[in-house]
């Protein structure tokens, strides 16, 4: 069923195929009704024609029965005539003069019988003892070997019953005239003479009555609708009695004895034939007529052809309409789909041909304008936005960095060493190392381990400043050490923890910096046990953090406000790590604060190279 699978795929993917199927489906009721009407009209025509013809055939067959019945009655009257039977029985094989006179009287009587009954061709009596055939038309004719002839044997076998004898050949006498018995153009009614004589001699006398077949056909001639129609008259045994078909035409076989009306192929015909049959309930004889089907539907054939033409034209019109609709609607839609596919794969120079002024033309024009606008957007606005974003990042980073050079710090360090100010020298040295990494160009990401080392420089400066007021603890998981994070991502968080949490703590402070992995996430955490954040202020801070995204970081008021460091960090991780990156701020007043940075590990496995400036 490969073709069915192919058609199903075309049906799913092609609007044209679906439109064609829809139009054909709308035509199916019309086509089905037209075909059904044609079929029903044919059946009705056949039925009505069959009923009328069979009624006429029944009347004709009844007339044939009456004719044959009159011949039977006439044969009974002749065979029981006492004068005829006594004269025939008294005559021996050698004719005496009186016998000749008797035969002459018998001949006159037979001639009169034939003349009175015009349907009869001849009336004959065969005298077995003398072997003479006395014919009303041909006189007395001697027949030899009559006991071997079929007609005589059948008459003797019937023992007084009437036998229908159908000659199987044509013979002629010495004068060239047809033989009175062996003439295939006639049928013979044969029976024994002297019906009331129970003691028939071995050579009984026989009565023969001949009837020409063409006279029987005259009774049926009015039933034959055309020259190509055939009529068959069959006796009660199914033998052909008379027919208007040629002698070489076989009698059609009737398969169903209960059916009297069929249409089928005839073996000797190129087309179908309407076959009708009537059977006489009296004699058992049947009349069979065959008529070519094309003659029956000759007058209705133009209407049938017209119906088929209408169906064909409707089918073609449906195909044409589906093509027109496809060309007018589906084709532009397909062109739009193709253009969208080209646009999706990045071909921004695609343009669709548009010569329409309707709604589809407007859609095509809008598509072309959209492509043009998108091309300009990507070329101008997007690139400009990218530059602005990078500029803002550089600006944010520049805001964090102090505006003095680490060279100056290096000079201060050596001056402190000269005056034995070791604490100042250590502070300046760590601050110089911290700024050396902060001001580095071209490297925007460091490993977690490098980030912790970097923080040590800054934290040592703060410890010296606050005279060891707090301690620091690093909890870096081994699997996190080689992951890369953005430069200076934790320094603002450590600075907030020291300045806003640990600076005003009277007891000894603790600062904890940790890194761990949870599934596919890297968690960086800065915790302190400082004074914490009050609840109203904590709510304000969290609202500010919630408004931060990768595109519009925060307002100008917040940029210069006290939440700057936290907002800066969140804006940077949103830009570099995507929307899945988050910053969480948890604090309890009087207990401490924890700030967590949640980053996707996949984005931390390789170093991000920044632009050189």
Rounded Cα distance, 596 and 574, in Å:
14
pLDDT at 267 over 70: no
Instruction: Please tell me which of 32-36, 322-326, 497-501, 580-584 the model is most confident about, judged by mean pLDDT.
Output: 580-584
Rounded Cα distance, 144 and 123, in Å:
20
Rounded Cα distance, 218 and 231, in Å:
11
pLDDT at 612 over 60: no
Query: How far, CA to CA in Å, does 116 sit from each of 136, 361, 518, 584?
Result: 12, 100, 132, 137
pLDDT at 525 over 90: yes
Given a contact cutoff of 8 angstroms between Cβ atoms, the answer to whether 467 and 379 are in contact is: no
SS (H, E, C) 443-455: ECEEEHHHHHHHH
pLDDT at position 610, please? 40
pLDDT at position 520, please? 92
The stretch 142-161 carries a mean pLDDT of 87
pLDDT at position 555, please? 47
pLDDT at 556 over 50: no
Instruction: Give the CA-trace dihedral at 66, 69, 71, 75, to 10 degrees.
Output: -160
pLDDT at position 225, please? 76
pTM (predicted TM-score):
0.47
Given a contact cutoff of 8 angstroms between Cβ atoms, the answer to whether 180 and 135 are in contact is: yes
Q: How many CA atoms lie within 13 A of 102 on its CB side?
A: 16
Q: Report the chain's mean pLDDT, rounded to a whole number.
A: 79
Q: How many CA atoms lie within 13 A of 506 on its CB side?
A: 1
Rounded Cα distance, 149 and 482, in Å:
130
Rounded Cα distance, 522 and 602, in Å:
9
The stretch 599-603 carries a mean pLDDT of 92
Query: CA 554: distance to chain centroid?
Result: 60
Rounded Cα distance, 104 and 612, in Å:
154
- For 352-364, the pLDDT digits (tens) are 877 777 777 778 8
Q: Which H or E run includes 292? A: strand 286-292
Given a contact cutoff of 8 angstroms between Cβ atoms, the answer to whether 165 and 147 are in contact is: no
165: nearest Cα among 189, 139, 191: 189
Please provide the distance, in angstroms rounded to a whole number, between the alpha carbons at the two ends of the chain: 67
Give the lowest-confidence range in 103-107, 292-296, 382-386: 382-386
- For 63-90, the pLDDT digits (tens) are 888 888 888 888 888 888 888 888 888 7
Sheet of 582-588, strands arranged across: 470-476, 509-518, 521-528, 592-600, 582-588
* Higher-pLDDT residue of 525, 417: 525
- For 309-322, the pLDDT digits (tens) are 888 888 788 777 77
pLDDT at position 599, please? 95
Sign of CA dihedral 380, 385, 387, 388: positive
* Higher-pLDDT residue of 560, 142: 142
**Measured CA angle at 369 (ends 366, 373), to 5 deg:** 135
108: nearest Cα among 125, 121, 94, 128: 125
User: How many other CB atoms are there within 10 angstroms of residue 92's CB atom?
Assistant: 11
The stretch 224-231 carries a mean pLDDT of 80
* Higher-pLDDT residue of 442, 422: 422
The single residue listed with the structure tokens 């680490």 is: 406
At 236, the pLDDT band (50, 70, 90 cuts) reads: confident
The stretch 257-284 carries a mean pLDDT of 77
Rounded Cα distance, 496 and 502, in Å:
9
Q: Environment class of residue 407 by beta-carbon count within 10 Å: exposed (0-12), middle (13-18) or buried (19+)?
A: exposed
The single residue listed with the structure tokens 């609202």 is: 543
- For 287-306, the pLDDT digits (tens) are 888 888 777 666 667 777 88
Domains detected in the chain: 80-218 (3.30.450.20), 305-376 (no CATH), 440-604 (3.30.565.10)
Q: 191 forms bridges with which residues in the sheet?
A: 207
- For 393-413, the pLDDT digits (tens) are 665 555 444 444 555 555 565
Rounded Cα distance, 427 and 106, in Å:
173
At 609, the pLDDT band (50, 70, 90 cuts) reads: very low
The single residue listed with the structure tokens 């200076």 is: 488
Count of residues making up the chain: 613
pLDDT at position 1, please? 64
Given a contact cutoff of 8 angstroms between Cβ atoms, the answer to whether 412 and 588 are in contact is: no
Give the lowest-confidence range in 101-110, 156-165, 254-263, 337-346: 254-263
The stretch 136-153 carries a mean pLDDT of 86
The stretch 338-348 carries a mean pLDDT of 79
Query: DSSP 3-state helix, strand, coil percentages of the chain (rounded to 5)?
Result: 50, 20, 30
Given a contact cutoff of 8 angstroms between Cβ atoms, the answer to whether 522 and 599 are in contact is: yes
pLDDT at position 560, please? 47
- For 446-504, the pLDDT digits (tens) are 899 989 988 888 888 888 878 888 899 999 999 999 999 988 889 889 989 988 888 87
SS (H, E, C) 295-340: HHCCCCHHHHHHHHHHHHHHHHHHHHHHHHHHHHHHHHHHHHHHHH
Instruction: Show the tokens assigned to 193.
Output: 């003479």
Q: Environment class of residue 315 by beta-carbon count within 10 Å: exposed (0-12), middle (13-18) or buried (19+)?
A: middle
Rounded Cα distance, 569 and 393, in Å:
11
SS (H, E, C) 340-364: HHHHHCCCCCCCCCCCCCCHHHHHH
């Amino acid at each position: 069923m490969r073709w069915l699978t192919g058609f199903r795929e075309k049906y799913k993917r092609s609007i044209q195929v679906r439109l064609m199927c829809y139009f054909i489906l709308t035509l199916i009721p019309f086509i089905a009704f037209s075909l059904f009407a044609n079929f029903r009209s044919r059946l009705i025509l056949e039925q009505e024609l069959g009923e009328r013809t069979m009624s006429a055939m029944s009347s004709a067959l009844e007339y044939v029965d009456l004719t044959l019945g009159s011949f039977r009655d006439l044969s009974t009257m002749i065979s029981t005539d006492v004068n005829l039977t006594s004269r025939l029985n008294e005559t021996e094989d050698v004719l005496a003069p009186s016998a000749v006179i008797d035969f002459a009287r018998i001949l006159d009587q037979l001639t009169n019988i034939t003349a009175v009954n015009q349907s009869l061709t001849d009336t004959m009596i065969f005298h077995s003892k003398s072997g003479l055939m006395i014919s009303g038309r041909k006189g007395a004719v001697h027949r030899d070997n009559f006991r071997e002839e079929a007609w005589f044997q059948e008459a003797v076998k019937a023992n007084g019953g009437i036998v229908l004898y159908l000659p199987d050949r044509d013979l002629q006498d010495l004068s060239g005239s047809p033989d009175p018995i062996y003439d295939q153009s006639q049928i013979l009614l044969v029976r024994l003479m002297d019906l009331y004589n129970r003691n028939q001699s071995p050579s009984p006398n026989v009565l023969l009555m001949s009837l020409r077949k063409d006279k029987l056909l005259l009774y049926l001639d009015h039933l034959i609708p055309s020259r190509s129609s055939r009529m068959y008259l069959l006796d009660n045994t199914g033998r052909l009695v008379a027919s208007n078909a040629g002698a070489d035409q076989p009698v059609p076989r009737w398969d169903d004895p209960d059916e009297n009306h069929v249409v089928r192929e005839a073996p000797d015909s190129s087309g179908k034939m309407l076959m009708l049959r009537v059977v006489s309930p009296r004699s058992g004889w049947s009349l069979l007529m065959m008529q070519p089907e094309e003659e029956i539907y000759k007058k209705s054939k133009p209407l049938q052809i017209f119906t088929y033409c209408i169906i064909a034209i409707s089918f073609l019109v449906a195909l044409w309409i589906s093509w027109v609709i496809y060309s007018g609607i589906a084709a532009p839609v397909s062109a739009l789909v193709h253009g969208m596919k080209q646009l999706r794969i990045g071909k921004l120079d695609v343009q669709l041909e548009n010569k329409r002024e309707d709604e589809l033309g407007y859609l095509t024009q809008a598509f072309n304008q959209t492509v043009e606008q998108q091309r300009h957007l990507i070329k101008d606005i997007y690139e400009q936005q990218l530059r602005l974003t990078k500029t803002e990042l550089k600006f944010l980073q520049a805001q964090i960095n102090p505006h003095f050079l680490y060279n100056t710090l290096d000079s201060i360090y050596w001056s402190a060493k000269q005056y034995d100010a070791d604490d100042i020298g250590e502070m300046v040295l760590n601050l110089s190392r911290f700024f050396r990494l902060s001001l580095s160009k071209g490297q925007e990401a460091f490993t977690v381990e490098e980030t912790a080392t970097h923080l040590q420089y800054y934290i040592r400066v703060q410890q010296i400043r606050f005279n060891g007021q707090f301690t620091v603890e690093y909890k870096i998981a081994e699997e996190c050490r080689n992951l890369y994070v953005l430069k200076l991502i934790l320094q603002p968080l450590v600075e907030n923890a020291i300045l806003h949490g640990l600076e005003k703590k009277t007891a000894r402070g603790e600062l904890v910096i940790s890194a761990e992995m949870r599934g596919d996430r890297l968690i960086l955490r800065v915790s302190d046990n400082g004074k914490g954040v009050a609840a109203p202020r904590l709510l304000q801070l969290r609202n500010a953090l919630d408004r931060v995204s990768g595109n519009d970081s925060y307002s100008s008021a917040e940029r210069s406000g006290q939440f700057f460091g936290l907002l800066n960090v969140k804006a940077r991780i949103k830009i570099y790590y995507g929307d899945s990156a988050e910053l969480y701020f948890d604090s309890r007043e009087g207990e401490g604060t924890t700030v967590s940075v949640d980053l996707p590990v996949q984005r931390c496995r390789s170093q991000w190279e920044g632009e050189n400036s």
